[in-house]
Structure 1
Amino acid sequence: MNAVPTVGTSRDRVGESPVWDVRSQALYWVDIEGQLIRRWDPASETLQSWRVPERVGCIALSAKAGGDELIAAMETGVYAVTLLPSSEVALRCLAKIVHPAPGMRFNDGRCDAQGRFWIGTMVMNMGLASPLGALYCLDENGLSAPKVEALITPNGLGFSPDGRTAYLSDSHPSVQRIWAFDFDGAAATLANPREFVDMTSLPGRPDGAAVDAEGHYWICGNDAGKVHRFDPSGRLVASLDVPVAKPAMCAFGGADLDVLYVTSILPATVAADAPGLNGAVFALKPGVRGLPEPVFSRFPK
């Protein structure tokens, strides 16, 4: 395998939720277990990190900021996070959540084109295989009731370029499915759930995802060192290699939105064939472009 470029020299315990900000031309992502938010500026090749008081499952860009505020789904709720020059943060609660059981947090999330934030929850101890996770939506009305229930490890959120299809995966080893839904952006509704891909026979578990400008769905094959590309019918059309076992989530970025950034996870047993690369963020050139990441603009009243 040819060497895959990495972003900076940071290494995450659980690198997730890469988000490219076209306004600042910078990449943001989180280290869930490290309780960090990170920012990479390719122009200056500088990395900044901010420590947060809870695990952050995912982040979204904020319409209210010029690069110093993000929206973060954490353990106890969703917060507007101001990133201060001192590497500290200021938090403003947008919505609290009452989980159905202890030991839960938010996990994967993404904004739709209408400026809402869709976010899933999970029991942190995946060994319990507890289907208490759910998918929620945050907008001006606050945090919704569950839109999808009985999830163990919700992941893979994405929306088709025309905004008519939403995607969701469950990456738990006992599930390993990706679903497609009919999406109504005006009403914020999901309908007609159907299996998009059964990944039990493919390399890797379905983790975080992105959709490219051609409407193809990219998803990390966790445990297999792959990023898969599926066409809108669910047919596997390409697989890219990354030099670590556990790629976690991908996002398109770069000046031309032609870089696929891929975060990764430090495995419990570090593979001998990936010295110093587990937990890195990789920059792939897949030969296609993505779409600008939507920003959160539907702040609760």
Structure 2
Amino acid sequence: MTEQPCIERLGDLLCTVGESPVWHPGDQALYGTDIPARRLWRYTPADGQICQWQMPEMAGCIAMSATGWLAAMETGLYALPALTPDQPKPQATPLTTVDHAAPNMRFNDGRCDRQGRFWAGTMVQDMSLASDAGRLYRYADRKLTIPLAAPFIVPNGMAFSPDGGKMYLSDSHPDRQRVWVFDYDRDVGVPHHGRVFIERLPAGRPDGAAVDQDGGYWICGNDAGMLYRYTPDGRLDRSLALPVAKPAMCAFGGARLDTLFITSIRPPHAAKDALDGALFAFIPGPCGLEESAHIG
């Protein structure tokens, strides 16, 4: 049965592709990226304020770090300082470049594991090509490696179980639409024994995801305006209707980590007063887990 939760729109943010929401506990604010606009943004619940920063490249995903932020962009990984409103164009310091497997690629979904290793996938931007040149990278000890050799079209849906022993990953391209779960070696940061976790969502393509403190896997059903929760054993537990067709990614946040934030995509044909591209939030019941910061 589909639920109709009480979902609140937050602020007046409208993203072309709103992605990678990350709750920063120190700032008590939600950060994220608008990929095609080459912008990072911040929403502060206390006053409803939205700040935005211009980036030199498209940033597919971000993660907290000891000195500010880590951003996976088009050509590689960059370090950013702590973002403040008086720095509309913060300095992006290159950490490592990436030799893409095909032209016109960028980073897409990513996050840190529970130990602070940064994982991020790449994709060919023209999805109509259905190119499996996508790769999944791990950045740790200042090295960028590919511990999981399987090719992807659009790697997505990355999340880690509360104890860090499971890693979730999807391929959201229409030709794949599958979610896997891997056993994850926490000591060395390597996934293994991958198997299908969700063969196909009830409706929509699997997009960004988050895990709650009970191990529930929340995933956006892109193109269907849905959000789903699956139990750790792969059972569909909840189906929630959203006020936009293309939810992109969800993340837990708030002072008690009891709020689930949801970003969305605004298609070119969206009506002027449509909510597509907006930021939303609701109280799902289970609380989330604090996101790990990149350890360097």
5+ long unaligned stretches in structure 1:
none
- Hey, what's the Cα distance between the residues in 2 that align with 1:32 and 1:146? 26
Cross-structure match for 1:189: 190
- Hey, what's the Cα distance between the residues in 1 that align with 2:185 and 2:226? 31
Give 2:277's aligned amino acid: G
More deviation, 37-46/209-218: 37-46
- Hey, what's the Cα distance between the residues in 1 that align with 2:53 and 2:241? 30
Cross-structure match for 1:168: 169
Give me the TM-score of the superposition, normalised by structure 2.
0.95
- Hey, what's the Cα distance between the residues in 2 that align with 1:275 and 1:229? 29
- Hey, what's the Cα distance between the residues in 2 that align with 1:275 and 1:192? 46
- Hey, what's the Cα distance between the residues in 2 that align with 1:138 and 1:217? 24
Rate the CA distance shift 1:42–1:206 in 2: closer, same or farther, 3 A. Answer: same
Secondary structure at 1:295's aligned position in 2? coil
Cross-structure match for 1:59: 62
Secondary structure at 1:127's aligned position in 2? helix
Cα distance, 1:141 vs. partner?
Answer: 4.1
Give 1:73's aligned amino acid: A
Q: 1:259-270 counterparts in 2 under 5 A?
A: 259-270=259-270
Cross-structure match for 1:281: 279
Q: Is the 8 A contact 1:123 1:133 kept in 2?
A: yes
Rate the CA distance shift 1:227–1:129 in 2: closer, same or farther, 3 A. Answer: same
> Which 4+ stretches in 1 moved above 3 angstroms?
none
Cα distance, 1:174 vs. partner?
Answer: 0.6
Q: Deviations over 1:153-179 (max 9, x none)?
A: 000000000111000000000100000
Structure 1 position 178 matched with structure 2 position 176: no
- Hey, what's the Cα distance between the residues in 2 that align with 1:197 and 1:252? 22
Cα RMSD, aligned residues only: 1.4
Cross-structure match for 2:11: 8
Give me the TM-score of the superposition, normalised by structure 1.
0.93
Secondary structure at 1:234's aligned position in 2? coil
Cα distance, 1:146 vs. partner?
Answer: 4.8
Structure 1 position 137 matched with structure 2 position 121: no
Cα distance, 1:88 vs. partner?
Answer: 1.2
- Hey, what's the Cα distance between the residues in 1 that align with 2:249 and 2:32? 10
Give 1:105's aligned amino acid: R
Give 1:144's aligned amino acid: T
Q: Is the 8 A contact 2:38 2:54 kept in 1?
A: yes
Cross-structure match for 2:75: 76
Secondary structure at 2:91's aligned position in 1? strand
Cross-structure match for 2:95: 94
Cross-structure match for 2:293: 295
Cα distance, 1:3 vs. partner?
Answer: 5.8
Cα distance, 1:2 vs. partner?
Answer: 6.5
- Of all paired residues, the percent bearing the same amino acid is 51
- Hey, what's the Cα distance between the residues in 2 that align with 1:135 and 1:157? 10
- Hey, what's the Cα distance between the residues in 2 that align with 1:172 and 1:255? 35
Rate the CA distance shift 1:3–1:286 in 2: closer, same or farther, 3 A. Answer: closer
Q: Is the 8 A contact 2:260 2:284 kept in 1?
A: yes
Rate the CA distance shift 1:38–1:76 in 2: closer, same or farther, 3 A. Answer: same
Q: Is the 8 A contact 1:136 1:148 kept in 2?
A: no
5+ long unaligned stretches in structure 2:
none
Give 1:80's aligned amino acid: A
Q: 1:126-275 counterparts in 2 under 5 A?
A: 126-199=127-200, 202-270=202-270, 275=273
Secondary structure at 2:291's aligned position in 1? coil
